[in-house]
Structure 1
Amino acid sequence: MSTDANNIVGLYDRNADAWDIARGKSLFEAPWLDRFLSLVPLGGTILDIGCGSGEPIARHFAARGYRVTGVDSSENLIALCRARMPDHDWHVADMRRLSLGRTFGGLIAWDSFFHLVYDDQRAMFPVFGAHAVPGAPLLFTSGPGHGEAMGTFEGEPLYHASLDPEEYRSLLTANGFDVLAFKPEDPACGGHTVWLAQRADRA
């Protein structure tokens, strides 16, 4: 399965337009996104890690006056972001090696870093911490329990993995985040398992 994980970048880049269409523009995530936004100062900065095509999530933030920096490993998806929201900041980058040299008022990794293998997921928590100001919320999705799962997209294998919820809690705590909410397989959010944490308000 780790080979399939390594193919994720190419899969999304080859199928960027198909993914954009399949994703659609409906915001079933809106209650979680708005709870997240309630913790980001109005007009503040948001780092969207695995931003995809920028719609609908980054668009939702931009429409409410937030400044979005989006990161995705797919050049074709980032090209869509730049065409749609040229006034915001878009980077082609591998999240595992992300080092932007600045911090943000909020961070989101929605349906993105769960494509990484276990050790790469563990290594993302210091990355989150390095890019978050004190008090910044972190919103991300995972699986409901430890394990790997395979899906398909456009006929290609699509890898997913998740750590155990208690390990996510430990990683968040170790990297300066307090867990505010955890909802496994939220029926009001398409069955997504959702985490909302907040960077401790201390230096």
Structure 2
Amino acid sequence: MTAPDIGQQYDEIASWWNERHDHSTYGLAQVNRALAFVPNGGKALDVGCGSGGRFVRRLIEQRFIVTGIDASAQMIGLARANHPDTLFINANIIDWKTSETYDFILVWDCLFHLPLEHQAQVLSKLCGLLSKNGVLIHSFGDGDGDHTDRWRGQTFRYSSMGITRNIEVLHDRGLSLLHLELDQFPENHVYAISRKL
């Protein structure tokens, strides 16, 4: 599956996603755990931001200047409507480039949509976008390899390079692991919180 496909797939469910997740609490406890490791304020990047909502509001409450990026044009349109004073970028994270660095990077439930061969590259790139002492929280699949699954009437591809390889990439890019949790509800995945040394 190529990167634009996932954007098109989420275009088809963007309105449903916005209604379901705008005021959801899913993932907030984990993000709050990560935010406890950083001072309030600075610049934050939300990768796979979808239509914004709970995570963007939480980052703004913590006085972060937020940039969101998502492959779905429809999601980005909704995010801009939901948060008109926030910068949202419609791009796929594989190809996106920036000269900015960020104090906090959030990558929740999106890396597993990337083709397996791009996962280490993208995670490495995100590590490089962290400021010194910046914090990254990212979730990923708890297995190795890839598979497809039916969801919302579409076939989605999922992949994961596994826990060990994720930790190796963090270490190789100069990050220190602060928290690792096998988080099995409501999704079967892992999340990690790391700091740039």
Matched residue, 1:117: 115
Q: Where does residue 165 of structure 1 map in the other structure? A: 163
- The match for 1:73 among 71, 74, 78 is 71
Q: Secondary structure at the match of 1:27?
A: coil
Residues 15-51 of structure 1, C-alpha deviations (whole Å, 9 max, x = no match)? 2112222335221322211121122321221100110
2:90 is the alignment partner of 1:88 = no
Superposition deviation, residue 63 in structure 1: 2.7
The answer on whether the counterparts of 2:124 and 2:170 sit within 8 Å (CA) in structure 1 is no
The residue identity in structure 2 corresponding to 1:47 is: L
Q: 2:181 — aligned with what?
A: 183
Asked whether 1:193 is paired with 2:190, we answer: yes
Q: 1:186 touches 1:194 (CA, 8 Å); kept in 2?
A: no
TM-score w.r.t. the length of structure 1 is 0.89
Residue of 58, 61, 71 corresponding to 2:59: 61
Q: Is the 8 A contact 1:125 1:175 kept in 2?
A: no
Partner of residue 104 from structure 1, selected from 95, 102, 105:
102
Native 8 Å contact 1:179 1:197 kept in 2: yes
Secondary structure of 1:105's counterpart equals strand
Residue 170 of structure 1 and its aligned partner are, at CA, apart by 0.8
In the alignment, does 2:135 pair up with 1:137?
yes
Name the TM-score, length of structure 2 as normaliser: 0.91
User: Unpaired segments of 5 or more residues in structure 2?
Assistant: none
Q: Root-mean-square deviation (CA), in Å? A: 1.8
* Greater fraction of residues in strand: 2
Q: Which residue of 2 aligns with 1:126?
A: 124
Structure 1: unaligned runs, 5 residues or longer: none
Q: Distance in 1 between matches of 2:137 and 2:31?
A: 8
Cα deviation, residue 151, structure 1: 2.5
Q: How many residues align?
A: 197
* Alignment deviations for residues 116-147 of structure 1 (CA, whole Å, 9 cap, x no partner): 11111111123112311011111111111212
What SS is found at the alignment partner of 1:165? helix
After superposing on structure 2, the runs of 4+ consecutive aligned residues of structure 1 that deviate more than 6 Å are none
Deviates most, 102-111 or 8-17: 8-17
Amino acid at match of 2:160: S
